[in-house]
Structure 1
Amino acid sequence: MFRVRFTARTARTARTSRTARTAAAAALALAALVGVTPASAASDTAAASPARDGGRHPRPASVSGSARIMYAYAPKDEIRFTVDARQVPYTHRFPGTRLEHGLPTDAEGTVRISHHSAEKGRTYTAEARVDCLATGGPVATLTAVVTRSDVLTVGERIGLSIYQGGADEDGDGTGDDGTGDDGNGRTGARLGFSWGIGNMALDAAGKPYQPVVGTCMAPAPFAPVLQGGYEVHHADIEVR
């Protein structure tokens, strides 16, 4: 898992300016998106929000669990992702900008990664602080900033996607794709991570590098879960 990531890291110097431009463009696009909601529409939506019905706040979106996945580039390795994330809307503020109140997808929590390399006989670990979470039914995407790691760069953002799976309809304890039962009668769970199969850009010389991961950005959940599972609780975006 980590090996493939490092082979994609080339032309570090050239990527610095490109990364800055990418981040700036993303920030401008996001600010524009947030700023297009008319005040009256936002007010009407807020008035009808369940969060303001009787003063009770609905349960926020969340995803939690731990699972071992099968990564096609390292099928013999034992790779496990443990996730505990929940939305805390409008808490990551940027004073003096159009995002001064934060975003509805602001989140908190922790991601832990353990990767035992069968080839090297060594276990690599990483831990990251969750900063964004979005859900849609049984699917969640989240990002987290690395706080400790043997191999990942501290301070960089990583993206994860999770599909919690569906009902084990034939009752055999396995999904049609060979994924295992998560213990709650679900099979077919999957997880994706930003450095596994994509997130590539080209520098001015045409050489590939990995750009900055934006908040809540992650590929589709491509890696099947072999053991364990995740619970995704969906909640609609809270508009203020």
Structure 2
Amino acid sequence: MNRRTKIAAVAAALLITAGAAGSATASGDGRGAHREAAALTGTAKLYRPAGDDITFSFDAHLAAKDNRNPEAATGTFRFSHYKGDWGGYAVAKVDCLATGGKVAVVTGRIIETDVKEFEGARVGVSVNDLGKHDRLGYSWLTQAPEQGDVPKCQTAPPFEKVKAGTGDFDVLPWLLEYPTE
């Protein structure tokens, strides 16, 4: 292949790549036009100097078609708290997910647990995705399960520190589309 043909081929490849990048950026966030409306994924342990093993994991999603209905979110989240022979876990089915920037609020109904007080309760968790310094909050600190259900998409702010090196939360910001007229 002669030099002129090589230059033309490289230029064409660069133009195609630039065009693809331009259309991905045009969707608003650089993730492409077919992204979901919002998401919260990842796992982390909470910081506890006394040695408690507290873990939260999320797999919560709001489909693009449900962009205006955070109560259509799907997925689960799991949390556990163990110290020595004491502890328990719970799994919740997501019933609401709202995100803004790097902050997410998710609520769900407990579908599996070994803690009697959590059976069937709705609980909420908040996450602030700060890279290596993520934070997390949960409803049962401010409202015990026996007080009744936490309202959908409501919980305490992210007041807890995530243990260094364990946080990998990823919050996909909710991009609401507003009518132009």
TM-score, normalization by structure 1: 0.53
Q: Which runs of 5 or more residues in structure 1 are unaligned?
A: 1-49, 51-55, 92-101, 166-185, 201-208
> What does the per-residue CA deviation read over 1:123-144, in whole Å, with 9 as the maximum and x for residues that have no partner?
4111110111001101000001
The structure where helix makes up a greater share of residues is 2
Q: Does structure 1 residue 106 correspond to structure 2 residue 59?
A: no
Higher relative contact order (CA 8 A, sep 6+): 1
Partner Cα separation in structure 1 for residue 56 and residue 153 of structure 2: 17
**Matched letter for residue 175 of structure 2:** D
Partner Cα separation in structure 2 for residue 90 and residue 191 of structure 1: 28
Partner Cα separation in structure 2 for residue 235 and residue 143 of structure 1: 16
Partner Cα separation in structure 2 for residue 213 and residue 90 of structure 1: 26
1:230 is displaced (CA, Å) by: 0.4
Question: Where do 1:1-240 residues align within 5 Å?
Answer: 57-70=34-47, 75-88=50-63, 103-118=69-84, 121-151=85-115, 152-165=117-130, 186-196=131-141, 198-199=142-143, 210-226=147-163, 227-238=166-177
Task: Label 1:163 to 1:230 Cα distance change in 2 as closer, same or farther (>3 A).
Answer: same
Question: SS where residue 118 of structure 2 aligns?
Answer: coil
Which aligned runs of 4 or more in structure 1 are off by greater than 6 angstroms?
none
Partner Cα separation in structure 1 for residue 177 and residue 81 of structure 2: 36
Percent identical residues:
34
Question: SS where residue 236 of structure 1 aligns?
Answer: coil
1:239 is displaced (CA, Å) by: 6.0
TM-score, normalization by structure 2: 0.69
> What does the per-residue CA deviation read over 1:79-99, in whole Å, with 9 as the maximum and x for residues that have no partner?
0001110113776xxxxxxxx
**Matched letter for residue 130 of structure 1:** V
RMSD between superposed Cα atoms in Å? 2.6
